């Protein structure tokens, strides 16, 4: 893959993730805090929770979903037979290592 197509793919992916998170944040008014956290975890995020108040999570209200972080690593993917010098062709593939996001809760009720 050429560097320009990789960059294009990354920009498109980032835009889709941003759109998805905006939609997720807007939908949180219809979900309990537990449902929102479970949804984000099912999407592959490690969820970091900060909260105000000491009430149980089931009684909390989601006040914000923010700061999505994606850590990636570039990995060589070798393919095809070796050439006359013993070298193999490869392509660089970006692999997602981890994803995290912060959820703010109001548990004062």
More confident residue, 39 or 19: 39
Q: In sequence order, what DSSP letters do the residues of 21-84 get, joined into one string?
A: HHHHHHHGGGS-HHHHHHHHHHTTPEEEEEEES-S-GGG-EEEEEEEEEEEEEEEEEEES---T
CA angle 53, 58, 64 (to 5 degrees): 60
Range of the domain at 45: 3-106
Closest to 60 in 3D by CA, of 71, 68, 50: 50
Give tens-digit pLDDT for 23-81. 454 444 578 999 999 999 999 999 999 999 999 988 899 999 999 999 999 999 999 99
Our count of domains for the chain comes to 1
What does the block give as tokens for 73? 């690593």
Task: Give the pLDDT band (50/70/90) at residue 19.
Answer: very low
């Amino acid at each position: 893959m050429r560097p320009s197509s990789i960059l294009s793919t990354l920009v498109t992916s980032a835009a889709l993730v941003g759109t998805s998170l905006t939609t997720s944040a807007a939908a949180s008014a219809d979900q309990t805090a537990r449902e929102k956290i479970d949804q984000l975890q099912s999407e592959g995020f490690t969820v970091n929770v900060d909260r105000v108040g000491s009430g149980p999570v089931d009684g909390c209200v989601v006040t914000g979903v923010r700061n999505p972080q994606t850590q990636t690593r570039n990995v060589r993917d070798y393919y095809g037979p070796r050439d006359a010098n013993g070298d193999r062709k490869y392509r660089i593939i970006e692999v997602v290592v981890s994803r995290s996001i912060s959820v703010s809760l109001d548990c004062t009720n």
